[in-house]
Amino acid sequence: MEGIQTTKQRFGIIGDHPGLNRAIEKAIQVAPTDISVLVTGESGVGKESIPKIIHSLSHRKHNKYIAVNCGAIPEGTIDSELFGHEKGAFTGATQTRSGYFEVADGGTIFLDEVGELPLPTQVRLLRVLENGEFLKVGSSKTQKTDVRIVAATNVQMFEAIKEGKFREDLYYRLSTVEIGLPPLRDRKSDIHLLFRKFASDFAMKYKMPTIRLDEPAVQLLLNYRWAGNIRQLRNVAEQISVLEQNRAINADTLRNYLPDTGSRLPTVIKTKESSDFSNEREILYKVLFDMKSDLNDLKKLTLELMKNGNTKDVREENESLIKKIYSDDTDKSDYTGEEEVLEVLQIPQKSSIVPSTPQEIIEDPYHFAEEIEEEETLSLHDKELELIKKSLERHKGKRKAAAEELGISERTLYRKIKQFDL
């Protein structure tokens, strides 16, 4: 069995953090078996190194090793990619195709971002893990495969299970052994070593002297949070190597390349149109939240009136609330400030959900509460539909750009488009 240091040298792994050493040690120990392994850790920590170690030290090392990024394959084609399809199984399937599980028979498959798999695909994967069987898309013939599965994810799996996005039985089948990699910010002693290695590699690649950090710059490097982990550190080293003429880098220069501390890197300049859209969206959210708050106040008042049955007592106890909803500078005893109510709630004056007086609430409080709930739901639905339409029109139907602007995933946007029949 290879030692930890030998494995690090072989796979170019730098660092001596106890968490990193423990992860490599576990990979070496499970490699000779066929146990399924789940590698966990934040994005950019180097999870892809672990399945390579496991495969190269296993009895499958002379067979295929296939790495699949599950998050990069569209939901509609991922079953075909993994399990293959028969000719004519769907539009465009002009010939029979072998999937990764058939091609990698006898070898290892690395499923990166396994937490992004759609639920129907999770069912198919569970069957492979349980008995080594799968069906091609469009086929009724069961096929066998002998594949070792190593999966990786940066998703909090128990949260995903709780939300119904990932099958609990599949999680336990995948994580027979779980190997966690620590984030870069917890490996402070390794950060400068990694930076020097990257700086040396880029100096050779671009045929220029190696950049070097002074002591304050090293301290800044060590204390930075590194949300993107090793991937972000590598990018920073490459940018400085290419852009800086002076090879001696001080803290001020380094700070310009670290987000949240100032940057010389190219930035995306928003057009006036996109800026206006962003402002419009923020205003809309604020209006909706204010509306919800005021509706909750109305519901609270309704319940008080139902509970006490005495309008006078409730009026005295909730004078400020009633004044806000039913009047402004008008006589409190009349409560006829309908225009002010509509202005507070941002509702057209002909809306049927706002009563003119508290008496209407008392007469039929249940019906009034139902109408409020219905109007609130319809309003949110309509605004969501309007935002999606505007974003798609703005980006000429490009779902990826629209999803980024709306702050949702492309897959979620695709579901919304189907839901609203856009």
The domain ranges of the chain are 4-182, 187-255, 272-420
Sign of the Cα pseudo-torsion (4, 6, 7, 8, in order): positive
Q: DSSP character for 228?
A: T
Residue 337 has pLDDT above 80, yes or no: no
Q: Give the pLDDT score at 317.
A: 54
Q: Enumerate residues 6+ apart whose C-beta is below 8 A from 61.
A: 55
As a whole number of angstroms, the distance between CA 361 and CA 298 comes to 9
Task: Report the pLDDT value the prediction gives residue 126, as an integer from 0 to 100.
Answer: 96
Q: What is the pLDDT of residues 157-206, one digit of tens each?
A: 999 999 999 999 999 999 999 999 999 999 999 999 999 999 999 999 99
Q: Is 83 a residue whose pLDDT tops 90?
A: yes
The pair of three-digit structure tokens given for residue 191, joined into one six-digit string: 């950060």
Find, among 279, 275, 292, 301, the residue nearest to 372 by Cα: 292
Least confident of 132-146, 248-262, 319-333: 319-333
Phi, psi of 248 (to 5 degrees): -95, 115
pTM: 0.61
Predicted confidence band at 72 (pLDDT cuts at 50, 70, 90)?
Answer: very high
- In this predicted structure, which of 294-303, 306-315, 343-352, 410-419 has the lowest mean pLDDT? 343-352
Asked if the model's pLDDT at residue 78 lies above 90, the reply is: yes
pLDDT, greater one: 246 or 385: 246
Question: What is the mean pLDDT of the segment spanning 73-81?
Answer: 92
Higher pLDDT, 339 or 159: 159
- Tell me whether strands 212-213 and 248-249 are parallel, antiparallel or unpaired: parallel
Instruction: Look at residue 180 and give its three-state secondary structure.
Output: strand
Q: Are 112 and 67 in contact (CB under 8 A)?
A: yes
Neighbours of 27 (CB within 10 A): 25
Q: Are strands 142-144 and 133-135 parallel, antiparallel or unpaired?
A: antiparallel
CB within 8 A of 319, min separation 6: which ones?
A: 332
- Is 62 within 8 Å of 220 (Cβ atoms)? no
Neighbours of 160 (CB within 10 A): 17
CA distances (Å), 259 to each of 191, 228, 263, 352, in order?
A: 17, 11, 6, 50
Q: Amino acid letter at 189?
A: S
Q: Centre a 10 Å sphere on the Cβ of residue 310 and count the other Cβ atoms it contains.
A: 12
- Cβ-in-10-Å burial (0-12, 13-18, 19+) of 206 comes to exposed
**What pLDDT is recorded for position 1?**
54
Report how far residue 365's alpha carbon sits from residue 371's, in angstroms, rounded to the nearest whole number.
Answer: 10
- The Cα-based distances of 328 to 152, 312, 323, 324, 338 in angstroms read 60, 19, 6, 7, 10
Name the percent of the chain lying above pLDDT 70.
Answer: 74
Q: Give dist(CA 306, CA 309) in Å, integer.
A: 6
As a whole number, mean pLDDT of residues 297-318 equals 62
Quick one: fold of 187-255? Helicase, Ruva Protein; domain 3 (1.10.8)
Domain 4-182 has CATH 3.40.50.300: yes
Stretch 417-421: mean pLDDT, rounded? 77
Phi, psi (rounded to 5 degrees) for 57: -100, 5
Q: Which of 57-66, 148-157, 165-174, 306-315 has the lowest mean pLDDT?
A: 306-315
Q: Is the pLDDT reported for residue 354 higher than 50? A: no
